Chain A
Amino acid sequence: MRNKITSVIAALGTAAIMSASANAGTLDDVKKRGALRCVVSTGVAGFAYPDKSGVWKGFDIDFCRATAAAVLGDAKKIKAVTSTGKTRFTKLNSGEGDVLWRNTTITFSRDVGVKLRFHGVNYYDGQGFMVNKKLGVKSAKDLGGASVCIQTGTTTELNLADYFHEHGMKYEAVTIETNDEARQNYMSGRCDVYTTDASGLAATRSTFPDPQNHIILPEIISKEPLGPATRHGDDQWSDIITWVYYATVTAEELGVTSANVDKMKSSKNPEILRMLGVEGNQGEELGLNKDWAYQIIKQVGNYGEIFERNIGKKTPVGLARGMNALWTKGGLQYSPPFR
């Protein structure tokens, strides 16, 4: 309900300033300011969090840095505009942020109703279930009668109701507000199952004293495509965000990494040469420097590097590539060609 109201307010407000912001040249603003303002979350494990000295890190932050590298030539020139789930779209639409890199699920109502422009899916997520191994549950279809910890006012609540209704099972909902609360409830046995996005489940599980005793069930019951967003009305800026993301994916596909990008400048593959700005003038067409993609790869890395550094197998979050593997490896990450 609250979400609905927020989006209505956001939509109304957006309509009010449509005329005002339509002519905004975000690219020029960012260059003039010398800093890119990314709307990010106030803390999601692996995706956005401050380190000890207050520097923001994470998967979303790295894409923000990649954008800054492309636009300003320096990945450090970012400003994190922290926002909660309720204020993120207004922060973007009111111009407090230039781009939204904040694990946001792309939906019809957000794209059309809130008047956002989405630019591809940089992380495919989906709602899953976590249970204690002791229960001996192997599939979500065995969960009839279970008590389920679930965050209120989110799409996960609706997905859960639909799924259990569809399979003719009953459940007892234990509603909670934050992830920490869910963790406490789940560990104390107040609920048998914890359900949220699979990446969130993995991150939560990694904080248990005994992560090996808990399993994430194979069923994924919803589609949660996460991606960046910008305001309506600035097509050049939209193109830039879209192709920053594609550049990271294409770089991985072509084997260009932050370590070998200098060597790759003398590669024989024309697509690599076009992307890195050795040939052609794709950078200028976007309104950027010739070496925009080179700066992304050099300073931040390709999609695989960003993934492994923040949420991959070797990090505490420990996610497998899964759906987020390249299309050549059975996943969904696919970039149009740089031609």
Chain B
Amino acid sequence: MAEATETYKVGQHPDLPPPRSEVGVIGWVKYNLLSTPFNVIMTLLAIWFLWSIIPPIFEWAVLDSVWTAESRKACWAKMEVPEGAACWAFIKDRIGLFIYGFYPADLRWRVNLSFVLMVLAIVSVLYENMPGRKFGLWYAVAFPFITGWLLVGGLGLTHVDTDQFGGIMLTFIIGITGISFSLPIGILLALGRRSKLPVIRVLCVLIIEFIRGVPLIALLFIASTMLNYFLPPGTAFDLLLRVLIMVTVFSSAYIAEVIRGGLQGIPNGQYEAADSLGLTYTKAHLLIILPQALKISIPGIVNTFIGLYKDTTLVLIIGMLDPLGVGRASLADAVWAGLAREVYIFVAVFFFICCFSMSRYSLWLEKRLSTEN
């Protein structure tokens, strides 16, 4: 090794790359998996564990699975052992029901169009770099109303009752409505709770504490059963609307507390700086306080949203059929009954994709908004 024997004057030694065994894959393995005898044992155990569960799962779910069959019996007939592999033919057979619920088949284009509009709205809200974003934001504000009209009908479109809604479509409706309306309401509640006006403050505290003290399931029961008794007969309004209101109110209370945490995290100097500039309350909050407070609340906000999104499955208890409900109802069809695992895995994967994307987006947003170097 010629280089190794070279001599340099003191202070003249050039920076050399670290030895190969300290960086790259080898270095990573060395430091993370094999650093101590205990870690070596843990690594071996983990490998053994993964080796013993992943191949069978892969075989069950992918390699041996059956994708085309007319019934459970036909599905099992295609396997070496009945029930020995996944029967995705069931999900395939019911995919329309899983996506659209009981929406009339000839009107499903309206749901599809809504899905497209939803993607456009989400993109225009979430990505700053989209061309024409200003227009995009106005569109996003109008989006719930456009979609509401598309899905329910009226004004030239055939009317569809909301009790025909179901499946993934229903999850999206409840989840997105809850998420997009609870953020502004939550901000207002959080500001109200810190207000210097006693009436507003007490009112906001009461709302937040009451809602947080009651489980969502209880609110849903109130929405589905009690409200009807309190309202005069004949005026009972749509069940879906009642559920949407309850879900929004519920998550607003949580968002309010998350944002209050953010507001308290802003140093007093920022408030004083805003005051010394002569900014009004509205301007101070819009320009200085809220941008910072919201930024530090992002993880908490997204956490609440993910929780809300998954909580939408609770509507099952009051008889609305979300993907989980559709799955359970389909399991009552004697032609397919017994394939519960397939249904639950399908629903789990659907929710995982949605929630994981939300969490990734929030990480990306945190990094983008980070002003620290």
Contact = CB atoms under 8 A, between A and B. Distances in A.
- Which of B96, B333, B337 gathers most chain A CB within 10 Å? B337
A13 B229 contact: yes
- Which of B96, B166, B331 gathers most chain A CB within 10 Å? B331
A13 B332 contact: no
A315 B97 contact: no
Contacts of A17: 229, 233
Contacts of B239: 96
B161 A79 contact: yes
Contact of B334 (A21, A45, A79, A86): A45
Nearest to B344: A180
Interface of B: 72, 76, 82-83, 93-94, 96-97, 100-103, 105, 161, 163, 166, 221, 224-226, 228-229, 232-233, 236, 239, 316-321, 325-326, 328-335, 337-338, 340
Contacts of A184: 340
Nearest to A83: B319
Contact of B317 (A84, A203, A206, A210): A84
Given A17-B229, A90-B228, A316-B335, A54 B96 contact: yes
Interface in A133-181: 178, 180
A90 B226 CA distance: 9
Contacts of B103: 54
Given A48-B332, A52-B94, A208-B338, A94 B321 contact: no
Given A45-B332, A50-B330, A82-B319, A90 B94 contact: no
Nearest to B232: A20
A118 interface: no
A84 B105 contact: no
Given A13-B229, A42-B325, A180 B340 contact: yes
Nearest to A57: B333
B329 A87 contact: no
A115 interface: no
13 contacts: A42-B325, A43-B329, A44-B332, A45-B334, A47-B332, A49-B334, A79-B161, A79-B163, A81-B319, A95-B236, A207-B72, A207-B338, A210-B82
Given A16-B229, A20-B232, A46 B334 contact: yes
Contacts of B72: 207
B331 A43 contact: yes
Contacts of A261: none
Interface of A: 9-10, 13, 16-17, 20-21, 24, 42-54, 57-58, 79, 81-84, 86-87, 90-91, 94-96, 178, 180, 183-184, 203, 206-210, 315-317
B225 A209 contact: no
A91 B233 contact: no
A30 B334 CA distance: 31
Interface of A is mostly: loop
A79 B319 CA distance: 14
Given A48-B332, A206-B337, A13 B102 contact: no
Contacts of A47: 332
B5 to A, nearest CB: 70
Nearest to B84: A209
Given A13-B229, A48-B332, A316-B334, 6 more contacts: A24-B233, A45-B337, A49-B333, A53-B105, A84-B319, A183-B338
Contacts of B233: 17, 20-21, 24, 95
A208 B339 CA distance: 10
Contacts of A207: 72, 334, 337-338
Nearest to A37: B163
Given A54-B102, A94-B236, A95-B233, A43 B226 contact: no
A91 B332 contact: no
A190 B60 CA distance: 22
Contacts of A81: 163, 319
Contacts of A49: 329-330, 332-334
Nearest to A88: B319
A96 B340 CA distance: 30
B236 A96 contact: yes
A79 to B, nearest CB: 7
A317 B233 CA distance: 41
Contacts of A9: 225-226
B19 to A, nearest CB: 54
Nearest to B100: A54
A234 to B, nearest CB: 13
Given A52-B93, A82-B321, A87-B319, A13 B226 contact: yes
